[in-house]
Amino acid sequence: MVNTPRKRLVIGNWKMHGDTAFNSELLAGLRTGIQSVAQCDVAVCVPFPYLYQVRSLLEGSGVTWGGQDVSEHEKGAYTGEVAAAMLADFNCRWVLVGHSERRGYHGESDATVAAKAAAALAAGLTPVVCVGETLQEQEAGQTHAIIERQLAPVLALGADAVSRTVIAYEPVWAIGTGRTATPEQAQEVHALIRGRLDAAGTPQVRILYGGSVKASNAASLFAMADIDGALVGGAALVASEFLSIAAA
């Protein structure tokens, strides 16, 4: 099988930041600066209330957008939840599922994360499935076992589904801490994930690295064979910094 190169992808995760004035300025910066970043897909995942604003300001810019979470249910009596079809209604292309802050603070299980990925796919969205070990798990030498465990129910969705996902490896100890995995540490886990994706018959799935990615460390991470881009938190809130990461 001949594999075509995987196009790079950089996604900003705004987390629970922003307001309409701040967003306007950030989005204007992205709209202007994106012209110089042709070889990379660029997207932002934003808080739900701002999807309308983000669509209005990014439409036709080349920057795509998405949500940070989605319900595993299609519709119904699920107060406070947001359905995948609602995200699709705002022309979202992406949705994060299983971010460590969802797994950690909201008790989302591996099975729930896979169910959310399936719901996103059913609505035509690309789920960005986040996996990653905690510091304690890393120190106990459990990194590979944790990643395998988190991936298993997603891989069980089948090759057709998996081929329409993106995987993000985000070691929890590197998120928002300023402590980035070394390129070699990240590559080692990406290679494990790549092996599982190859075995599942889905070699084209992109694997992003996330955890304190900045303009200053992006190029060395992207030089690794199995790192296809980044999921960026804090640095995605500054247009020039975020675009520099995409340019790397």
Q: What positions carry a catalytic annotation?
A: 99, 170
- Contact between 44 and ligand PEP per CB under 6 A: no
Site string for ligand PEP, 210-239 (x = CB under 6 A): xxxx-----------------xxxxx----
How many residues belong to the chain? 248
Q: How far is the CB of 44 from ligand PEP (least distance, A)?
A: 12
Residue 67 sits in the site that holds ligand PEP (CB under 6 A)? no
Cβ-based nearer residue to ligand PEP, 119 or 186: 186
Q: Which pairs from 102-107 meet CB under 8 Å and 24+ separation?
A: 102/69, 103/130, 104/172
Residues 141-180 contacting ligand PEP, CB under 6 A: 170, 175-176
Helix 239-247, helix 215-222: angle, nearest 10: 20
Closest distance to ligand PEP from the beta carbon of 246 (Å): 14
CB closer to ligand PEP, 85 vs 238: 238
Residue number, 13 or 165, with CB nearest to ligand PEP: 13
Query: 137 - beta bridge partners?
Result: none
Indicate whether 15 belongs to the interface with ligand PEP (CB under 6 A). Answer: yes
Q: How far apart are CA 211 and CA 235, in angstroms?
A: 10
DSSP assignment of 105-173, as one string? Answer: HH---HHHHHHHHHHHHHTT-EEEEEE---HHHHHTT-HHHHHHHHHHHHHTT-HHHHTT-EEEE--GG
- In the numeric block, which tokens belong to residue 32? 């202007």
What sign for the dihedral angle of Cα 214, 219, 225, 229?
A: positive
- Token match 């690295």: residue? 209
Q: Which is nearer to ligand PEP, 14 or 200 (by Cβ)?
A: 14
Residues in contact with ligand PEP, counted by CB under 6 A, come to a total of: 14
Minimum distance, C-beta of residue 149 to ligand PEP, in the bound complex (Å)? 20
Closest residue to ligand PEP in the complex (CB): 233
Task: Return d(Cα 170, Cα 153) in angstroms, integer.
Answer: 18
Q: Which residues bind ligand PEP (CB under 6 A)?
A: 13, 15, 170, 175-176, 210-213, 231-235
